[in-house]
Amino acid sequence: MINQTLDLWISMVTVILTGSLMLGSSYEWYASWINKRGHHLFESIHKMFSGNRGNDFISLLYNHPEIHLLKHKGELPSYISKAMFAHTLLDVIIDDYKQQKTIITYENFIPETEEENNFIHKNQLLHEAIENLEYSHIKRMLLTHKIDKNDADYYEKISEKLADWFENYQERTTGWYKRSVQRQSFWAALIFAVFVNFNIIDVYIEMKNNIQLQQMTIQLGEKMVSEGHDSLQKKSFETWNTHIDSLKDYKFPFGYKISKETKILIENGHWTDAVFQADFSFFKELWFLNFKWFTIPGWLLTAMLLTIQSSFWFELLVKMFNIRKTGAKPDQQK
């Protein structure tokens, strides 16, 4: 009895994990389609410039050749390395300052060689450009680090400090991005559950009475555990849909049921004739074949379960399989 109950819950957790991974891959496709990460990176960098000329610096930064080349088909880059950001931003700050001030006077220093002159010129030019910036988070950060402007490694040290600061800042903004996704996750999960008719209550009822479906789902769970969570996250929606289709052969309730006549019309490319009918027979058909008293509560419960991160369900599945291995092997019923 205990083994049978454990098998039931292993199969249910496997189903929830599969749905969570399907939802994750769907959301990643959507995020990629709207370039969500690129816009998030742009907004996080924009916050660095709080002055009146913030938009000017953002425009100069993103139009700089090094970052402009990262754009794909005009889309904002979703990742900028810390070294590239530091080098590009300092380059932009210097170029902007040079455009504003055409004559720069250097006092109290006479370089000995032309090479040293170019080097000192770059350091002093950067220092003056930073001092000339209007107040912003970037200026405050650059001036916080007390580096002597006459230090031979002034430019390199400023660049390293800026790169490290940007890396730490991006770690924080990644947390903001994840929290933003979590706030949207319930509604995304609910839309997903309704769109594919994923009803966890319906699944439980079928799984409890269908031992063959249980065993096939457990086999899928064993395969998922052996592959590891990181590997599972890289799989596409189509891959998970293939696994779901294999379970449908054992009456797994997923997707909408339609009549044979409607299915033939859709398969032959006449889906408009099937869906858009004057008497709304298609929607009536969906209602009578799929909707039950627990359909809407089931969708809501599914959405709440899918909102929990897939890593939680994976770890729970691993623990349940470990418990299963320590007990007696359940009878295989057909």
pLDDT in tens, 55-110: 788 888 888 888 888 887 778 888 889 999 888 989 888 888 888 765 444 443 43
Question: Does residue 333 form part of some domain?
Answer: no
Q: What are phi and psi of 72, to 5 degrees?
A: -115, 115
d(CA 3, CA 330) in angstroms, rounded, equals 6
Domain count of the chain?
Answer: 2
Q: Is 210 helix (H, G, I), strand (E, B) or coil?
A: coil
Residues 115 and 87 in one domain: yes
Question: Does residue 91 form part of some domain?
Answer: yes
Of 131, 157, 175, the residue at which a domain comes to its end is 175
Closest C-alpha to 324, from 4, 17, 12: 4
Predicted local confidence at residue 191, as pLDDT: 92
d(CA 220, CA 228) in angstroms, rounded, equals 13
Residues 192 and 154 in one domain: no
Residues 20 and 60 in one domain: no
Report DSSP state, residue 75.
B
Question: Cα torsion for 44, 49, 52, 57, to the nearest 10°?
Answer: -90
pLDDT category of residue 279 using cuts at 50, 70 and 90: low
Of 124, 140, 175, the residue at which a domain comes to its end is 175
Residues 14 and 120 in one domain: no
Predicted local confidence at residue 120, as pLDDT: 53
Residue range 122-129: mean pLDDT, rounded: 82
Residues 79 and 27 in one domain: no
Instruction: Give CA separation, 217 vs 15, 203, 208, 318, in Å.
Output: 7, 12, 12, 14
Predicted local confidence at residue 321, as pLDDT: 92
Residues 322 and 190 in one domain: yes
pLDDT category of residue 295 using cuts at 50, 70 and 90: very high
Residue range 137-165: mean pLDDT, rounded: 80
Q: Is 286 helix (H, G, I), strand (E, B) or coil?
A: helix
Residues 235 and 316 in one domain: yes
Higher pLDDT, 1 or 205: 205
Of 158, 175, 192, the residue at which a domain comes to its end is 175
Closest C-alpha to 140, from 61, 49, 54, 60: 49
Residue 96 near residue 129 (C-beta atoms within 8 A): yes
Q: Provide CB contacts within 8 A for 22, sequence distance 6+.
A: 192, 237, 240, 241, 244
Residues 23 and 44 in one domain: no
pTM: 0.64
User: In which domain, by residue range, is 99 found?
Assistant: 36-175
Closest C-alpha to 22, from 332, 322, 226, 310: 310
pLDDT category of residue 118 using cuts at 50, 70 and 90: low
Question: Does residue 219 form part of some domain?
Answer: yes
Question: Does residue 331 form part of some domain?
Answer: no
